Amino acid sequence: MKESHAAALAAIRWQGGIDGHLELIDQTRLPAEQVWLACRDVATVIEAIRSLRVRGAPAIGIAGGYGVVVAAGEAQRLGLAPASALAHVLAAAGELAAARPTAVNLRWAVERVIGRLAGTASAEGAGGRSAADLATVLLAEAVAIHDEDRLLCSAIGRHGAAILPLGDVLTHCNTGALATGGDGTALAVVTTAWAAGRRFRVYADETRPLFQGARLTAWEMVQRGIPVTVLVDSAAGHLLATGRIGCCIVGADRIAANGDTANKIGTYGLAVLAAAHEVPFFVAAPSSTFDLKLADGAGIPIEHRPAAEVTSPWGQMVAPPGAEAFNPAFDVTPARLIRGIITEHGVISPVTTADVARVLGSG
């Protein structure tokens, strides 16, 4: 089904109760049309995550959490006995968690939802919980994750708006309502500052090869009435040299304990350019995006995507047959290039292992 672009900005919603289903805005269809995709089985949720119909670390985490509930719904429809229902849900959870490797929020959310099932398998002969009972527990936790993300986005927006430098803002990829369960991460900073009366222009890198900046960030800014200009990724250095950019601000898909940050490919290059022009470079992300088991960014897995995204974007051949493609979906920006990481707990600055632990309360 389709909705007007004037509809409230959101990317994810759960329809119905324990026998309901997940709905996602199909972001591959934006900005031409806003279409909601109904996910009534786990395979559809996984395909939506892998094909970037839903994207953004917090959003795919929320989708993964709801995907576990979808698995419980499948077990109900199949009439599985308690033990088989639990096995079905656990197997689906494993597939969901592995759907995309770089963003830590996906596995975090799936494991958190599944963690609520601890002790659901009763002693042998006692039966265990029915599929409907499992779904009740799982849905409550998935909704809690979604609700919490809305609050996290608001807190990130407040903390970031308080330190946002004067001048226009340059961003990369999409970090707004389409990428989260609330108003966004980096874009929440932008929209919060705008709502408070600050005035500036947002410059959005196209973010090749899938154009999330041009298609999604620009679309969100237009919906909110915030001036936006799209530029090709390779024009960022020239733009920074003009002196009109007050700061760069991006999101994150995984952050190591020392602050090294994995984000959409091109982020590292933008951070280097920002440093060369002495423009502050900020990252905005919730605490769930931190992987404190990793000492630094060297251990972050980098997803490589199909060559056709580069050689034939949107079905249009731009490279000759036989040409190969290098298509990493993410890169890692060293902590030394990041002025501050804006979280729901406050701003981590300077970005060091000690300050990450201090702000997140883990040290």
CATH 1.20.120.420 is the classification of domain 2-149: yes
Would the pLDDT of 114 be above 80?
yes
Give yes or no for a contact between 72 and 92, defined as CB atoms under 8 angstroms apart. no
53-101: pLDDT as tens digits: 999 989 999 999 999 999 999 999 999 999 999 999 999 999 999 999 8
Pick the CATH number of 153-360 from 2.60.200.20, 3.40.50.300, 3.40.50.10470, 3.40.220.10: 3.40.50.10470
Give catalytic residues, as residue numbers.
253
pTM of the model: 0.89
- Distance separating alpha carbons of residues 162 and 281, to the nearest angstrom: 15
Bridge partners (DSSP) listed for residue 159 = none
Whole-number Cα distances in Å, 188 to 146, 193, 276: 16, 8, 26
Would the pLDDT of 222 be above 50?
yes
Within this chain, domains 2-149 and 153-360 share the same CATH topology: no
Give yes or no for a contact between 267 and 172, defined as CB atoms under 8 angstroms apart. yes
- Distance separating alpha carbons of residues 205 and 179, to the nearest angstrom: 16
Q: What are the tokens at 304?
A: 């490589």
Q: Name 19's Cβ contacts closer than 8 Å, sequence gap at least 6.
A: 73, 76, 135
172-211: pLDDT as tens digits: 999 999 999 999 999 999 999 999 999 999 999 999 999 9
Q: What is the domain partition of the chain in residue ranges?
A: 2-149, 153-360
- Distance separating alpha carbons of residues 132 and 327, to the nearest angstrom: 42
Number of neighbouring beta carbons within 10 Å of residue 80:
19
- Distance separating alpha carbons of residues 332 and 121, to the nearest angstrom: 41
Q: Is the peptide bond before 306 cis (omega within 30 degrees of 0)?
A: no
Of 281, 285, 348, 299, the closest CA to residue 101 belongs to 299
Number of neighbouring beta carbons within 10 Å of residue 31:
16
Bridge partners (DSSP) listed for residue 22 = 14, 39
Mean pLDDT of 119-135: 66
